[in-house]
Structure 1
Amino acid sequence: MGYAFTTADVAFLRSAAGTAALAEVNALPFSDASRLRDVETARKSLGPSFAPVVETVLLRRRAVSKLDSAASWLFTDDALQQATASAVARHRASRFAGRTVHDVTCSVGADLFALSAVASRCVGSDLDPVRLAMARNNVPGGLVVQADALRPVSRASAVTADPARRDSSGRRKWNPSDFVPPLDELSEVYAGVDLAVKCAPGIDFAVAPWASEVEVVSLDGAVREACLWTRGLATPGVSRRATVLHGSSSWTLTDAEPDDCPVAPPGAWLVDPDGAVVRAGLVRHYAAQHGLWQLDERIAYLSGSEPPPGIRAFRVLEHGHYTEKSLKSLLKTRGIGRLEILVRGLDVDPNTMRKRLKLSGPASATVVLTRIGSKPVFVLCEAERT
Structure 2
Amino acid sequence: MGYEFTREDVRYLTSEDGIAALAEVDRLELSTRTHLADIGRVRARFADRSGALVETVLLRRRAVGKIDGGRHWLFTDDALQQTTPSSVARRRADRVAGRAVHDVTCSVGAELSALVGVASTVIGSDLDPVRLAMAQHNVPGATVVRADALVPCTRDTVVLADPARRAGGRRRHDPAALQPPLPDLLEAYRGRDLSVKCAPGLDYDALEWPGEVEIVSLDGGVREACLWSPGLAGAGVHRRATVLTADTAWELTDAEPDEIPEREPGEWIVDPDGAVVRAGLVRHYAARHGLWQLDPRIAYLTGDAVPAGVRGFRIIEQLKYSEKALRQELARLDCGVAEILVRGVDVDPAVLRPRLKLRGSASLSVVLTRIGRTPVAFVCAAGVRA
Considering the TM-score relative to the shorter chain, is it more than 0.5? yes
Give structure 1 stretches of 5+ with no counterpart. Answer: none
Read off the aligned partner of 1:284 and give its amino acid letter: R
Shift of 1:42: 1.2
Contact 2:344 2:369 in 1 (8 A): yes
Paired position in structure 2 for 1:140: 140
Read off the aligned partner of 1:90 and give its amino acid letter: R
Paired position in structure 2 for 1:91: 91
Paired position in structure 2 for 1:317: 316
Paired position in structure 1 for 2:185: 186
Change (3 A) 1:211 1:197: farther
Paired position in structure 2 for 1:364: 363
Are 2:105 and 1:105 aligned? yes
Change (3 A) 1:170 1:32: closer
Task: Report how many aligned residue pairs link the two structures.
Answer: 385
Local SS of the residue matching 1:233: coil
Paired position in structure 2 for 1:60: 60
Paired position in structure 2 for 1:49: 49
Paired position in structure 2 for 1:209: 208
Q: d(CA) in 1 for partners of 2:165 and 2:30?
A: 31
Paired position in structure 2 for 1:226: 225
Are 2:230 and 1:254 aligned? no
Q: d(CA) in 2 for partners of 1:145 and 1:9?
A: 19
Contact 2:78 2:168 in 1 (8 A): no
Q: d(CA) in 2 for partners of 1:302 and 1:346?
A: 16
Shift of 1:264: 2.7
Change (3 A) 1:289 1:334: same
Paired position in structure 2 for 1:155: 155
Shift of 1:206: 2.1
Paired position in structure 1 for 2:269: 270
Q: Percent identity?
A: 61
Paired position in structure 2 for 1:302: 301
Shift of 1:179: 1.4
Structure-1-length-normalised TM-score: 0.98
Paired position in structure 2 for 1:245: 244
Paired position in structure 1 for 2:72: 72
Q: d(CA) in 2 for partners of 1:332 and 1:79?
A: 50
Q: d(CA) in 2 for partners of 1:354 and 1:81?
A: 33
Shift of 1:31: 2.8
Read off the aligned partner of 1:379 and give its amino acid letter: F
Local SS of the residue matching 2:231: helix
Q: Render the CA deviation track for 1:262-295: whole Å, top value 9, x for unaligned.
A: 2333211000000000000000000001000101
Structure-2-length-normalised TM-score: 0.98
Q: Render the CA deviation track for 1:301-326: whole Å, top value 9, x for unaligned.
A: 00000010111111111111000000
Q: d(CA) in 2 for partners of 1:369 and 1:192?
A: 47
Paired position in structure 2 for 1:343: 342
Local SS of the residue matching 2:29: coil
Q: d(CA) in 1 for partners of 2:31 and 2:185?
A: 44
Contact 1:340 1:366 in 2 (8 A): yes
Local SS of the residue matching 2:171: coil
Shift of 1:207: 3.8
Superposition CA RMSD, Å: 1.1
Contact 1:264 1:296 in 2 (8 A): no
Local SS of the residue matching 1:309: coil
Are 2:338 and 1:334 aligned? no
Q: d(CA) in 2 for partners of 1:123 and 1:85?
A: 19
Contact 2:116 2:141 in 1 (8 A): no
